[in-house]
Amino acid sequence: MSGTVLRALGRALPGLLGLVLVAFGAWLAWPPAGLMVAGVLLLADRAWEQIRADRGAR
């Protein structure tokens, strides 16, 4: 079980780290922008996963 968790974390960590760094950079420019950028990136990721799932179902 812990191997599965570590494998999933290893795959997700680089993407999450990138998201955090981009949002932090936007936050440095204007604090509300950091929250907006993080939200947009999370929504884009969720939309991408949904599109991939829809294409796989066909």
Max Cα–Cα distance, the chain, nearest Å: 43
Q: What is the CA radius of gyration of the chain?
A: 15
pTM value? 0.76
CA 44 to CA 40: how far, in whole Å?
Answer: 6
With vertex at residue 20, the alpha carbon angle to CA 55 and CA 18, rounded to the nearest 5 degrees, is 60
Structural domains in the chain (count):
1
DSSP annotation of 1 reads -
Half-sphere exposure of 27 (CA within 13 A, CB side): 10
| pLDDT per residue of the chain (58 residues) written in tens, 0 to 9 | 888 989 988 988 998 999 999 999 999 999 999 999 999 999 999 999 999 999 987 6
Domain of residue 20 covers: 2-57
Residue position matching structure tokens 């999933």: 8
